[in-house]
Structure 1
Amino acid sequence: MCAHSSGMMGFPLRLLAREVYDRVRAIKGDKSVALITGEQRIEPPEARYFCCTMEAMDRLGMGTNGPHAFVAIDEAQIGADPERGHIFTDRLMHARGRDETMILGSATLEPIVKKLIPGAEMVERPRFSTLTHSGEAKLSRLPPRSAVVAFSTEQVYAMAEALKRFRGGAAVVMGALSPETRNKQVELFQNGEVDYIVATDAIGMGLNLDLHHVAFAALTKFDGMRKRRLTPSEMAQIAGRAGRHQTDGSFGVLTGGGSRSGAPLEFAEEEIYAIEEHKFAPLTKLYWREAEPRFDTLPVLIGDLESKPQNEVLRAAPEAIDLAVLKRLASEPIADTVKGHGSVRRFWEACSLPDFRQLGVDPHSRFVARLWQDLQEGYIGADFVAARIAELDRTGGDIDTLQGRIAAIRSWAYICQRPDWVLARDEMAARARGVEARLSDALHARLTERFVNRRTTILMKSLGQDSGAIPVTLEPDGRVSVEGETIGRLDGFRFSVDPQAGLADRKMLLAAGEKALPGILSQRAEQLLAAGLDDLTIEGGAIQWQDQKLADITIPDDFGTPRLTLPREVAALPDAAREKLETGLTAWLEGKLAPLEPLRKLSEAARDPNAGSEARALIVTLIDARGVVARENAGLQHLPKEMRPFLRKLGVTFGALDIFARDLLKPAPRGLLHALGLDKRPLQEAMLPVIGESKDIPAGYRLAGSQVIRVDLAEKILRSAFDTRAKAAEPAVSNAPAKEETPTAETASETASESAPAADATKSDTPEVAAEAKTENTPSKQVKPKEKSGSKSGGKPIHAKFALDLALPVSIGLEEENARRLLGSAGFRVQRAKPLGEGAQGPVLPDSWSWRPRRAGENRSNRRGDPRKQGRKGAGKSKGQHQDRQKHGAKGKGKPQDQKRQGGNPKRGGKPSHSGSNHSGPNHSGKRKPKQDFGPARASGAFDKLADLLR
C-alpha cells in the first residue's frame, strides 16, 4: 500500500487496524494516514491512506474507478462466518483499487475467488517454520512461551488461576475484552513479564505472538446455535500461532481434558495430518446479504435483506442481530414513526448498532428503540450523552462489572462516531474514548492482579542463578524488591518475607532474599553510616534503629569505653562491612554517653588510693545509687571532714537530707541512665521541679507530703530556711562570747545532716519531724556540762523561735502543707499562729518556727513509742532511759505521752514542743557518779525532767 499514491485496507479486528495504522503512520506521517473504525475515527483532511475495520470501509472507495490506488482485504475467508461473513463477501466482490487490489486469506478460499473473480492472480506465501504435534502435557509441565486455548470464560479463568499457582501467572485474551485491554494483556506476554497466555479462539486471528507451543484445553465450542467440534481449519488457525518466521512451533492438548462423556481429549489422526501439512478442504460457500437494499418502506427493506443470492457459490446469511432487531421493531408501534426514504435509512442505521453488550435481541431492541426516539428529534443532545458517559466513568468493581461498562461505553462511542446523530460529536467521541481507555486500564489491572503473580514469575526465572545475578533492590523505605516487585522488608537489619505472600510463595521469597542478603545488608550499613546515624536511639540497654535492636550495650564498671554485642542478623554482615559499622556505632555511642562524664570522674576517684578509704566508700555508694543517696544511707559518720572539699570538687553536694552529684540531676544523664538500664527507677524525662505523688518515686526525687520534689531543689529550700534562722539569731550572736561561732545555713545544715536517718514527713502523724543530732564519743565533741536546757549554742538558743516565709517552696511548686512536711523532715518545727477570733481585727501573726537536730538512734518507731522496736534498737542507752521510753511510749497510740499531751499535731490544734534542755551537766551529789550522756538536746518531756533530777 505504501508503494502507491493512496490506499485503503480493511481488517477483521480493530486492534489489527490500529497496529497497521501505527506502522503506516511511521512511514507516511500523521497527516497522511487515517484510522476509521466503528468506535474511533482519526481522519486528517489530507489523509491518503486509510486503515479500517471491514464494516467501516467506505463504499465510495469501491469500484474500478474508486479514489484509492490500492485496496486490500485481510482474512477474506471470514466470508464463510455465519455472523459477519456477508460483509467480507461484499468487500471481496466490490472493493477495488484503481491500480491494484489484494485479497488476503487462507488457501481454502482459492476456488471461490476463481469463480467470483475470474482472472485473479494467485500468489502463495509458504510457511517458513514447521508445526508439530507434541501430544498431551500437564498444565504444570507446559514449556515457557506457551498458550492455553479454552472456549468459555469459566475455563479461561480456571486455567489462568492454575498457571498463577504453578508458574506465577498468565495473560488473558478473550473476545469479550476491549481492544485496549486485549492489547495490554498481549503486551504483558510479549514483554516477557509472564511466560503463558490463556485465550479463547480470539487468539487465532489478528494476534502476532512470540509463541512456541499451543495447548488446547478443549476441542469443542458453542457457535451461537450449537456446541460442535472445531473444524481442522479452525484448529490450524489457532495452532498456527505457535512458531514464527523460521522458529518452529508445536501444538497439543492438556492432560485431563475431555468431553462430558469421559472421552479423552485428543486430536484425530486426520486432524493432525491436516494441521501439520496445512491440507484443508476448500470452502464451497460464502455467506451473502444484499449490501445495497432499498429504503422505500420497512417491509421492502426487510425483503431485500432476506433475498436469496443468484450466484451458486453464495449462500444467504443467517439472520444477524441487526436484521433481527429490525424485524422486531417493525412489528411494534414504533414502526409507525418510520416514514419516507430518509427515515427508513436512518432507522436501519440505528438497528445496525452492534450489540457490544451481548445481551440478545430483546434487550438490544429496547436500547435501539430508545435511541430512535431521541434521533426522531434530529440529534441527541450533548448533555444527555455526556450524562450517560459520566455514569459509566467508574473504575471500581470486579472483572465482569468492568467488562459490562466497557461494552456499554463502546456502544456510546459508536453512537458518537455517527456524523448526524450527536451534537458536539467530536467532544462526545473524545469523552467516550477517554472513559473506555480508563475502564480498559482498570480491567487490565484487575486481570493482572487476579491472574498474574509477577513476583513469583520473576523469582521462577531467577532460580538457579548466582546470588549476584538476582536483581534484588533495597528501596529507600526498606522494601526489598526484585524488578519492582516486593519480596520482603528490611527493618533495621532484619529481613522478613512479605506478609501478603501465600504459603507456597514464602519459601521461594525467603530463599531469594537470603541469597541477596549479604549485599543488601552491606548496602543498608552504608546508608546508615552515610546518614550520620541520626536516627539511632538508646533504649533498653541497646542501640535501636527502626524499632529493631542494632547492638546490645555493655557499660564497664569504670564507665569507660562501652562494649557492643551485635545480634545475629547484624553479625551476618560481611566482615569488612561489619567492622566498619561497629566502629561507627562505637564512636557514636561514646558521643552519646558524654552526659555520664560525672559518673566516669567519680569512678576514677573511687580507684584513687590518695582519696582515702572512707571517701572511696562514699563514692562507691554514690555510684551504685546513680548519683543520689539519702544521708542516712551514705555512712557519713565514717567520713573525715577534711575529705569533704575533695568530694565537692567532684561535684558532690552534701545536703541536709541527701548526698548527690548535682550534674547527674539533669534530664540528659538521668534519661541516659534509664535508657541504658542502669537505673530501673521511674524516669521523669524533663526533671520537673515538683511532680505529683506517684507510686514509685522517680530517680533524683524525694517525697514531700503528697508531692515529690527534686533533691537539689529540696536542698535549696532547706538552705534558705537555715539562712532565715541564722539571720533571725544575729542580735543574740553579737552578744555571744568571741570564741563561739555564729551558726550559718551551712553549719546548721551540716548539723542537721550529720544526724541519723530523718523521719518520713509524709507518714508522720505530725508535720514537724525533728532531726537527730549525731552522737560522737570523742571528748571534743561532747556537750559541755554547763550547757543546760535552754542554753545557747554558738550564741543562739537551739530552739529559738523565728518566722519562715514559704514563698520559695511555693514558687517552686510545693503546696504549703507539703513544704512544711519537707522542712519537718530536716528538723524544723512549726507552731501555728492562733487565728483571730470572730469579728477581731488586727494583723495576722506569722507561724512560729524552731529547729533542733535529731538524736542519734531516734527514728520513726521510737517516736511512735513502739516498745518492741525500742527494745531491739535501744542499744547504747541507759536502762533507765530505755524503761522511761517504754513507760511513755505505752500510751497515745504509739506517740510519746508528753508529745500527745502537748498537742504535737498542728492539724488537731496542738502546739509543738520546743523544749531543748541539755541533760549532760555534772552530778551535784557529794559523790560524783559516772556521767551518763543522753545525747544532744531533744524535745522536753517527762523523761527529760527525770534526767535533770538524776543529774
Structure 2
Amino acid sequence: MILSGRGVTAVLGPTNTGKTHYAIERMVAHETGIIGLPLRLLAREVYTRLVEKVGQHNVALVTGEEKITPHMARFSVCTVEAMPRETRAAFVAIDEVQLAGDLERGHIFTDRVLHLRGRDETLLLGAATMKPILEQLLPGIHVIERPRLSQLFYSGSKKITRLPQRTAIVAFSADEVYAIAELIRRQRGGAAVVLGALSPRTRNAQVALYQEGDVEYLVATDAIGMGLNLDVDHVAFAQDRKFDGYQFRNLNPAELAQIAGRAGRHLRDGTFGVTGRVDPFDDELVKRIETHQFDPVKVLQWRTTRFDYSSLQSLRQSLDAPPPIGGLTRALPAVDQQALEHLSRYPDVRDLATTPERVEKLWEACALPDYRRITPAQHADLISTLYADLVKRGTVNEDFLADQVRRADRTDGEIDTLSARIAQIRTWTYVSNRPGWLADPTHWQEKTREIEDRLSDALHERLTKRFVDRRTSVLMKRLRENAMLEAEISVNGDVFVEGHHVGQLAGFRFTLASGTEGPDAKAVQAAAQKALALEFEARAARLHASGNADLALGSDGTVRWLGDPVARLAASDHVMRPRVILLADEQLTGNARDHVAARVERFVNHHIATVLKPLDDLSRAEDLQGLAKGLAFQLVESLGVLFRRDVADDVKALDQDARASMRKHGIRFGAYHIFMPALLKPAPAELITLLWALKNDGLDKPGYGDLIPVLAAGRTSVVTDPAFERAFYKLAGFRFLGKRAVRIDILERLADLIRPLLQWKPGTPRPEGAYDGRRFMATTAMLSILGATPDDMEEILKGLGYRADAVKAEEVAAFLAAQAPAEAAAETPAEAGAEASDEHDADASETESEAPAEKPEAPATETAEAPAAEAPAETEAAAATEGEPAEVKPVLLWRPGSRHDNQRQGGQRQGDRQGQGERRGGERHRNQPAGERGERREGGRGGRPDQAKGRDGKPQGGNRPDRGERNERGGKPQQAKFEARPPRKEKPIDPDSPFAKLAALKEQMKK
C-alpha cells in the first residue's frame, strides 16, 4: 500500500542549496531519527558530522558492508539500500530522491519514498525535477524549493594543462581518469583520484588530499556529483558519455548540472566547462545548466515488494508484477533478479529451493552485491556456493571463507591489483554483516574490515605515489599560505626547499628537478637562490684555496672541481694557452667570480705545463737561435711531431751546435720524423689531441671520442679506421700507413733494421733480410716490432715510400746460394761489423734504446710467415713430401722509391755527400773535417735509402741511403736481436762530442 503525502516535506533544488545540512539540523531536533543517503561515502561524511554534534554513542552507521551500532543509539545514518522498510523513528529523511528514476537502483529509492515514514516528520531531498512526480504520487506533500546559494557560469573550453587550480576534472572510465591524473602530475604537480570502484576509505583519503590543499586538482567520475562537499571552483568535463550498465549514452542536462553544481560552495560562485576532446556545450545547454531548467522526471522505477516465496517459479512471477498506479514503471532486472534467473536453471539449486523458507533464503542470497564487476554467470556461481552452505550447514563454510579472505589479504601489487582485492574483500565484508550467515560473525566482521582498511590504505598510497608529486604539493600549499620558503643545500649539492628536493647544484650551476614547472617554479627558484647566493661565495672561497689534486681536466675540455664541472676550454690564438670559460650561474659575481676564474686558469696552465713539459719548455727556450728557434716554433705549433720531409731544408741548414741545443730539449731527429719521444706517452698524447681539437673544432670530429683512448693506451701499432680523422693519429704519435698506424718511435726502429740491409756489400757476411745491397726482404724482426702481418708490412713499407719487386723464389734461392762462398771468404766479420756500425746515426740508436719495454703486438702467424726467400727450396721440398702441389708465392724485394719520405730534400744532397766517403766503393774521404762528416750523417737521413752510381763513381741525384744518427754517447746503434752483430774493432767517434773537431784535426795530421 502506498502511503499518502501528508506529513511529508520535499526540499527540492539544485546543488549547493544546503538541503543535506537542513536535514541534519532537523533530525537532531527530534528524539530519534534516520537518514538514507545514496553512497556509503556520503553516509560516512554525514555520520561524522552527527557524531560531532551529538556524540559517538548516539549515532549508528548502517551500510551493506559496515555496521556501527552503539547501544541505545538515537540516530541512524544508512545507505538507502540498508534503510529498514518500517521504522518507529520520529524523523526520516531520504537524500537524492531523483535517483528513483535510475535504471539500476531506482526501484530501491522509489520503495523508500512510497513506504517509509517518520512518526513526526519526513523529508525528501532532491532535485527540483522531482516536484511534479512527487505531487502526483504523494497527494498532500508539502514542497519547498530552495535556490542555489551561488551562481554557476560557463567558461568554455580549456586545455587540461591550462585549467585553473581547485578544478575537478570529470571522466567516466578508470583508464581515462588515470591518464588525465598522470598528465596533471607531470604538468601541475599532482591530482587526487575519486572513482566509484574505490573503497570508501580510499575515496575519503583521496578527497582529504584535495581538501587539505596537498593537490590542486581532482580527477573523478560522476561519483562526486552525489552530495560530496568539495572545495571546487571549476568543473571541467573531459567526457560527456558514460556506460549506464546497459549502453553508452550522452549525459542529459540534469546529470551534467548535478556534476557541474559541485563548483562553488555556499556563497562562492563556480564555473564549469569542457576540456580534452569534448566539444564545447551549445548555448541552449549552457543556459539550462546555469538557470537549472530541466525536464521533469515523468516516471519512477518500481519493483514489487510483495514476493511470493511458495516456489521458485512463483517468486520469478511476482517479480514481473506491473506497477499498481500511474507514474511508475517496472524496473529492468537488477543484479539480484539476474542472479535469480541464472540460479533457477541450476538443478542443484532447484533441488534445494523446495520450501518457502529456502526460496526466501535464496532471494536473500541473491541480494549479494556484485562488487567484483564480473559476469552474471560467475556471480551466480558464488551465490550458489553460499546458498548451498546456508541450506545444508545453516551457515557459510568458514574454511571456504577463510581461504577466500586469505587470498585477498596481500598489499603488494599495483593499483588495478589492489582494486580487485578490495572488491573481493568487500564481498566477504558484506557476507559477514548478513544476520545469521556466519557462526562467528563478529570475528569475520573485524577481520574483513581490517583487511579492507589495510588494502584501502595501500591503494591510497599507490594512487598518491603515482599521481601526486609530494614535493610540489607541499610547496603549493606553502605558497597559498604566503609563507617564506626555507631552503638548504646538502653536502652533495642537493637543494631542498621546505624539506623537498627541488634541484641539484653542480659546481656553480643550479638545475631545477624535473617536474618543477608551472606557477610554483618561480617561487621555488627564488627560495633556492637565496640559499645559493651564500653557497656560491663559500664554494668560490674553497675552490680558490684548493689544491691541484681537487681539479681535473677531462678529454671533453671540461674542468671539474671535486667531480663537478666548473669551466670548459675554448680555442685561443696560442694552441698551448686555451681560453677558460666558467660554467657558472649569474649569481656568481664580483670577487667570487674573479677568484674562481683565476684559480681555474692557474690550474689549466699548470696542468699543460706539467703534462707537456718538454713542449712547454721548448716554447719558452731562450738558448735556441736562428734556424733552431724557427724549427722549435714549428714543432710547438704542430704539437711535437713534424714530418722530416716537410722541414728537410731547415734540418739540412742546422749546424752541429744547433742540433745539440735542440737535443737538449728532448728533440729527436729521426729518419722519418722530427719528434719528442716524451710526448708519445698516453697522458701527453691525450692532452695534445684535446688542444688540437679545441683549436680546430675537432671535439665532434670522427674518432676523437673512440680513437684517442686506444691510441693513448701504449700500443705500438693499431688497425686504422678510414672514417676517423687522420690528424688524431699523428697527434697521438702514430703514422697512418695503410691498414695500420704505427707509433713514430717504432718506425725509427724499423729504419734501424732496414738501414744495414741496404748497406750490405756482397761478399761479406749477409744479415738476415739483405739481398744485394740495394734491396731487402721483410724479416721476422720487422714484423715483430710492428705487430703486423706480412700483408700489413706491405702496406706499411709502401706508405713509407718503398717499392716492391716481385721475384721468383727460385731466383732468390739461386742468388743467395751464389753469395754463400763470397761470404765465407770475407776478410773478418769484425771489420764488416765495424764498418756497418759506423754507418749508424746517433739518433737511431736512441730510438731503439728508448723504445717502450712492453712487447709489441705481433700476429700469431709471424713465425710461420717468415719471408719465403730464406728457404724457398725447403718450402718446396716440404710441400712435395706432403704430396700436394706447392704454389710458391713470389718474394717481395723492397727498394727505395720515388715517393720515399726522405726523397724531397733537393739541394741538401750535394752537401750531404761532403764529409762522407763513397761507401758502396769501399773508399773513405779521410781528408774531410770531422764537423762536415757529422753534418753529412745528420743530413743523410733525409736522402733516399739508395742511389745508383754514375760514371764518375759518385751517387747520382742525392745522398746515400738513410744512415740514421749515431748515439750521442758514442755507442753504435743497437741491432735487432734477430740479426747478426759482428764485433767491431774500434769505437766510432760521436759526431756530437765536444772532442769531435779535435779528432778531425788529428786525422788530418796523420795524413
Q: Aligned equivalents of 2:364 and 2:553: distance in 1?
A: 76
Counterpart-to-counterpart distance in 1, 2:220 and 2:857: 84
Match of 1:813 in 2: 855
Considering Cα pairs closer than 8 Å and 6+ residues apart, tell me whether 1 or 2 has the greater RCO: 2
Q: Does 1:672 align with 2:681?
A: no
Contact persistence 2:308–2:315 (CA under 8 A):
yes
1:700 to partner: Cα distance: 2.7
Once residues 351 and 320 of structure 1 are traced to their aligned partners in structure 2, the CA distance between those partners, rounded to angstroms, is 12
Counterpart mapping for 1:624-635 below 5 A: 624-629=637-642, 633=647, 635=650
Amino acid at match of 1:700: G
Residue 706 and residue 215 in structure 1: after superposition, are their counterparts in 2 closer, same or farther (change >3 A)?
Answer: closer
Equivalent pair of 2:339/2:376 in contact (CA under 8 Å): no
Does the CA-based 8 Å contact 1:542-1:676 persist in structure 2? no
Cα gap change, 1:261/1:859 in structure 2, threshold over 3 Å: closer, same or farther? closer
The Cα shift of 1:350 comes to: 1.0
Deviations, residues 511-560 of structure 1 (Å, cap 9, x unaligned): 99999999899799789978989797544656599999953423564945
Q: Does 1:138 align with 2:163?
A: no
- 1:172–1:325: structure 2 CA closer, same or farther, 3 Å change rule? same
Aligned to 1:67: none
2: CA distance between counterparts of 1:9 and 1:523? Answer: 64
Alpha-carbon distance in structure 1 between the residues aligned to 2:265 and 2:80: 29
Which residue identity does 2:855 align to in structure 1? G
Which position in structure 2 is the counterpart of 1:179? 200
State yes or no: 1:582 paired with 2:594.
no
Task: Tell me the distance in 1 between the aligned counterparts of 2:630 and 2:582.
Answer: 35
Contact 1:596-1:664 within 8 A present in 2 as well: yes
- Residue 692 of structure 1: CA displacement? 3.8
1:917 and 2:938 correspond: no
Cα distance, 1:796–1:22 mapped onto 2, change above 3 Å: same
2:789 aligned partner: none
> 2:923 is matched by which residue type in structure 1?
S
Superposed, which structure 2 residues align to 1:178-257 within 5 Å?
178-180=199-201, 182-183=203-204, 186-187=207-208, 189-192=210-213, 202-212=223-233, 241=262, 244=265, 247-249=267-269
Structure 1 residues 658 and 355: CA distance shift in structure 2, 3 A: closer
> What residue identity is the alignment partner of 1:207?
L
Q: Distance in 1 between matches of 2:316 and 2:256?
A: 36
Q: 1:33 to 1:668 in 2, by over 3 A?
A: farther
Change in Cα spacing, 1:798 to 1:415, as seen in structure 2 (3 Å) is same
Change (3 A) 1:305 1:623: closer
Q: Deviations over 1:548-579 (max 9, x none)?
A: 9953423564945x422469x97897677765
- Equivalent position of 1:602 in the other structure: 618
User: In structure 2, what is the Cα distance between the partners aligned to 1:63 and 1:481?
Assistant: 59
Paired with 2:179 and 2:952, the residues of 1 have a C-alpha distance of 109
In 1: Cα distance, 2:68 partner to 2:368 partner: 20
AA aligned to 1:595 is V
- Number of the residue aligned with 2:404: 385
Contact kept, 8 Å, 1:181 with 1:443, in 2: the verdict is: no
Give matches, 1:664-703, under 5 Å.
664-677=679-692, 683=708, 685-688=711-714, 690-692=716-718, 694=720, 697-698=729-730, 699-701=732-734
TM-score in terms of structure 1 length: 0.54
Identify the residue that residue 617 of structure 1 maps to in structure 2. 630
The residue type equivalent to 2:733 in the other structure is G
**Structure 2 residue aligned with 1:16:** 42
Structure 1 residues 518 and 555, CA gap change in structure 2 (3 angstroms):
farther
8 Å CA contact 1:36–1:42 kept in 2: the answer is yes
Distance 1:939 1:497, change over 3 A: closer
Amino acid at match of 1:673: I
CA distance in structure 2 between the partners assigned to 1:800 and 1:62 by the alignment: 127
Say whether the 8 Å CA contact 1:8–1:72 is kept in structure 2. yes
Instruction: Give, as a single letter, the amino acid of the residue that structure 2 aligns with 1:420.
Output: W
**Mapped contact 1:628–1:659 kept (Cα < 8 A):** yes
CA distance in 2, matches of 1:693, 1:252: 71
3-state secondary structure, aligned to 2:802: coil
Q: Which amino acid aligns with 2:149?
A: L
Partners of 1:690 and 1:812 within 8 A in 2 = no
1:553 equivalent to 2:539? Answer: no
Any gaps of 5 or more consecutive residues in structure 2?
A: 1-23, 101-105, 135-141, 699-703, 757-795, 806-825, 863-868, 878-894, 929-935, 956-1007
Find the counterpart in structure 1 of residue 353 from structure 2. 338
Structure 2 residue 798 is matched with structure 1 residue 798:
no
CA-to-partner distance for each residue in 1:638-689, whole Å, 9 max, x for gaps?
Answer: 4444456654554445667765434323221211111122698974544525
Cα distance in 1 for residues equivalent to 2:946 and 2:95: 125
CA distance in 2, matches of 1:539, 1:349: 79
For 2:753 and 2:239, locate their aligned partners in 1 and report how far apart those are by CA, in whole Å: 101
**8 Å CA contact retained: 2:150, 2:265:** no
Task: Give the C-alpha shift of residue 792 in structure 1.
Answer: 14
In structure 1, C-alpha distance between the alignment counterparts of 2:717 and 2:33, rounded to whole Å: 91
In the other structure, the counterpart of 2:983 is: none
The match for 2:79 among 54, 57, 66 is: 54
Give the 5 Å matches for 1:10-409: 12=37, 13-19=39-45, 37-40=63-66, 53-54=78-79, 75=94, 78=97, 81=100, 82-85=106-109, 88=112, 93=117, 106=125, 131-133=149-151, 136-140=154-158, 175=196, 178-180=199-201, 182-183=203-204, 186-187=207-208, 189-192=210-213, 202-212=223-233, 241=262, 244=265, 247-249=267-269, 264-267=285-288, 321=334, 324-325=337-338, 328=341, 332=345, 333=347, 334-339=349-354, 343-356=358-371, 365=380, 368-369=383-384, 371-373=386-388, 378=393, 379-380=396-397, 381-382=400-401, 385=404, 389=408, 395=414
Partners of 1:519 and 1:765 lie apart in 2 by: 74
Return the offset for 1:862: 10
TM-score (norm 2): 0.52
**TM-fit CA distance, 1:237:** 7.5
CA positional deviation for 1:9? 7.0
Partner SS for 2:64? coil
Q: Trace 1:752-767 onto structure 2 (pairs within 5 A).
A: 763-764=801-802
1:690-745 CA distances to partner (integer Å, 9 max, x unpaired)? 2246475543346999976655577789999999xxxxxxxxxxxxxxxxxxxxxx
* Aligned-residue offset at 1:264: 4.9
Identity, in percent, stands at 24
Report if the CA contact (8 A) 1:204-1:238 is conserved.
Answer: yes
Match for 1:348: what amino acid? W
**1:676 match: secondary structure:** helix
Q: CA–CA distance in 2 between the matches of 1:260 and 1:796? A: 107
Using a 3 Å threshold, how does the CA distance of structure 1 residues 329 and 29 change in structure 2: closer, same or farther? same
SS of equivalent residue, structure 1 residue 353: coil
Distance 1:331 1:17 in 2: 35
The SS at the match of 1:798 is helix
Partners of 1:836 and 1:286 in 2: CA distance: 112
Q: Which amino acid aligns with 1:54?
A: T
Does the 8 A contact of 2:192 with 2:209 survive in 1? yes
The CA deviation string for residues 331-362 of structure 1, in whole angstroms up to 9 with x for no partner, is 54423312457644542331111244678988
